[in-house]
Structure 1
Amino acid sequence: MSLLVLVLLVVAAGAWLYLWAAGNLRHVSALGGYAGRPAAGKGTNWLLVGSDSRSELTPRQRRDLHVGNGRVQNTDTIMVLHSGAHGPTLVSLPRDSYVPIPGHGSRKINEAYADGGPQLLTRTVEQATGLRIDHYAEVNFLGFVQIVDALDGVRLCLDKPLKDEMSGADFPAGCRRMNGTEALAYVRARYTDPEGDLGRVKRQRQLMGAVADGMASSDVYLDPSRSKRVLDASLAALRVDDDADVAQLLGMGRSMRQISSGAGTATTVPVRRPGVMVSGVGSVLPWKENGASRLFQALRNDERIPTSADK
């Protein structure tokens, strides 16, 4: 009988938290119609964005994270999450990807957010990939730190030491539990990584999987007070498109958990290596046209992605 009461309490608390989250979910106009927008394909596509806005960081947090003032409005993380008949597929789009930004010429893809916010970034991704984006989710610098801290940190494993003075990363090889500031430094590191931005996107996927695991752990969902603390941090950090609801967010979270457990697929859009220098733009990563085309065509048709896609 006591077990039944416990289960009922947890279910009741979960239902209350669900309704509370639904009323506190923040929305942003991220999806817009325009001439030539790709038609809807099979499956569901989320655009997942990590904004490097620093406007809400304290001076101490900026110092610890080795970042400057609050005027920067680019995106450090850009990923497309496709869910369909063959399980979820997560595709990283490196921030230095060289693509056309509507109305601004060809530039680094992460500049689209600064040029026109979520709508221009979404349109840029849609036109570069040929995929119709169904939903959008964005987390900022400070929010990301607070989510990880609300989870009491996340466990990450390094195959080799990582030190990057520009991001503040200084970690030995092996597994450790990182707090929010450490985790952000870990995923922002790229200047001492031989793979540069491509190494960073792998760490971004690793960290997102760790966060998804943490949110799905029994330590969180069986403890209503802790669940609310994690939800508070997540909702404060998160903005989603106007049509997204809590149920769809939970589905997105399940897809991320599948990927972190190995049940899904994680890859990076094929790019030319090494990068190339473009006057007035800097070092960029053009996509391999054939490889990128085959990858996104498979996602449009909800087929298994080509095995030759770069991991």
Structure 2
Amino acid sequence: MALAADRRRVTLLLAGLVTVLLLAGGALVVARTLAADRTAPTARATGPDPSPSGQPDPSPSTPPPGADITGPLNLLLVGVDTRVSVPGWEPHADAVLMLHVPAGLSRAYLFSLPRDLVVDVPAFKPAGYSGGRTKLTNAMSYGSRVPGRAKRPDPAQGYDLLRRTVSDYTGLRIDGGAVLTFGGFDKLVDSLGGVDIHIDQRVVSRHRQPDGKHRRPGPGIGGYVGPQMVYEPGEAHLNGWQALDYARQRYLPGGDYTRQRHQQQLIRALVSKILDADLARQPEQVEQVTDALGEMLVYVGGRKIVEFAYALGGLSPDALTLVVLPGAAVGQGSSYRGEELTRVGRRFLTELRAGRVDAYLAEHPKLTVPAPHPG
């Protein structure tokens, strides 16, 4: 029984990670809660123990939370760069990822949308935004504005406008999701003891020095000076700042599409890390992770994380397919407006909605991110 319970905890931990993806810290909260529930006594010879609320614990026959979730599910995960020290700063969606789980919840597909994707952003009254055609990343910043009050931007409100925009563009209903700041991701990886990843091409950092210090601002817009951290091809163990820095770089062959692939590879590596570490048996590490994230995690959804975790309890890393959608620049002459998906990329969304995604990916194998090399 104990072994079965431990295996179930690991499965739930993994399912929670897949559910909130970049926001894996939220899943570890679930794991800690479940572990606490299972270590608490549930019955005595004279009757059930009262719960902290004074009510009896649920009967063993009570369906677990999320048992009614059968799919399909679409979860929107957003990575946000935090520059709160910059006057007038607003959160921009630097990483926009979708997790699609078809009915039956036996497989999952993770794909990214380019941050510079040109889309129609709907009007959004809470932020006083009248709507317009602009880059996808701007939906987060425009939606986060709090009119008439000298307060920090509201990331949850920005997520709401981004969610509406992505739903309109993809034709998919968004069931939930979350926002994680870059600082939160950095701390998450360090709390897990770093991550092992296969680096598929040479990456020279624009932002960090080899010792991890930030490079100094240089001439021109977005310019930097000073020595640069370099990630060489091959197997590597990355700490928090290295993992984040590697996944952020987009001034590479392939541009933002290469960055999307690296972000997805990093997510896969995190899933493997959690399984290998068997974190469900190490509550002190779970506590460290959740404490490290704090307010850097914003969960948004109609259902609780624990419900999604139970619903996706049967998933495994092998059931997660990583997809990179091809795109091209949009503009007139030398004027760059943003990105658009190619016909192949747009067709992927059509086939996904129609339930024919496996056949489509078989016809276009270059859309999928290969698994890392063994060893």
Q: Determine the structure 1 residue equivalent to 2:236.
A: 176
- 2:63 is aligned to none
Partner of 2:250: 190
The whole-number CA distance in structure 1 between the counterparts of 2:94 and 2:101 is 23
Matched with 1:47 is 76
Matched, 1:110 2:137: yes
For the 8 Å contact 1:143–1:237, the answer to whether it is kept is yes
Paired residue for 2:296, among 220, 234, 237? Answer: 237
Map residues 148-159 of structure 1 onto 2, 5 A cutoff.
148-159=189-200
Contact 1:51 1:139 in 2 (8 A): yes
Identity %: 29
Shift of 1:264: 2.7
Out of 96-105 and 161-170, give the one that drifted further.
161-170
Shift of the 251–214 alpha-carbon distance from structure 1 to 2, 3 Å rule, reads: farther
> 1:205 is matched with which residue: 255, 259, 264?
264
Aligned pairs for 1:238-257 (under 5 A) are 238-250=297-309
Check whether the contact 2:74–2:173 (CA below 8 A) recurs between aligned residues.
Answer: yes
Unaligned runs of 5+ in 2: 10-28, 38-69, 124-130, 144-157, 210-228, 369-375
From 131, 138, 143, give the equivalent of 2:172.
Answer: 131
Q: Equivalences for 1:1-311 in 2 at 5 Å?
A: 17-18=32-33, 43-55=72-84, 71-84=89-102, 85=104, 87-103=107-123, 104-116=131-143, 117-166=158-207, 169-191=229-251, 193-234=252-293, 236-250=295-309, 258=316, 261-272=317-328, 275-277=329-331, 282-288=336-342, 290-305=343-358, 306-307=360-361, 308=364, 310-311=367-368
The change in CA–CA distance for 1:42 and 1:51 in structure 2 (over 3 A counts) is: same
Unaligned runs of 5+ in 1: 23-40, 57-67
| 123-132 or 91-100, which deviates more | 91-100
Gap change, CA 1:236 and 1:15, over 3 Å in 2: closer
Query: Using a 3 Å threshold, how does the CA distance of structure 1 residues 244 and 292 change in structure 2: closer, same or farther?
Result: same
Taking only aligned residues, the RMSD between alpha carbons, in angstroms, comes to 3.5
Equivalent residue of 1:96, what SS?
coil
CA contact (8 A) 1:137 1:239 kept: yes
Query: In structure 2, the residue corresponding to 1:110 is in which secondary structure?
Result: helix
Is the 8 Å Cα contact of residues 35 and 280 (structure 2) preserved in structure 1?
Answer: no
Pick closer, same or farther for the CA change 1:294–1:161 going to 2, 3 Å: closer
Looking at structure 2, the residues matched to 244 and 173 of structure 1 have their Cα atoms a distance apart, in angstroms, of 41
When normalised by structure 1's length, the TM-score is 0.74
Alpha-carbon spacing, 1:161–1:130, altered in 2? closer, same or farther (3 Å):
same
Equivalent pairs, count: 269
* Residue matched to 1:65: none
Distance 2:340 2:180 in 1: 26
Deviation, 1:238, is 2.0
Question: 1:167 offset after TM fit, Å?
Answer: 5.7
Instruction: State whether residues 118 and 337 of structure 2, in contact with CA within 8 Å, keep that contact through their aligned partners in structure 1.
Output: no
1:141-170 Cα offsets, whole Å, 9 max, x none, are 111111001001111121332102246542
Q: Output one character per residue of 1:269-293: Cα deviation in whole Å (capped at 9) or x when no partner.
A: 3423xx13369983511122x4344
Judged with a 3 Å threshold, the aligned counterparts in structure 2 of structure 1 residues 17 and 77 are, in CA distance, closer, same or farther, namely: same
Higher radius of gyration, 1 or 2: 2
SS in 2 for 1:53: coil
Contact 1:158 1:175 in 2 (8 A): yes
Cα contact 2:30–2:305 (8 A) shared by 1? no
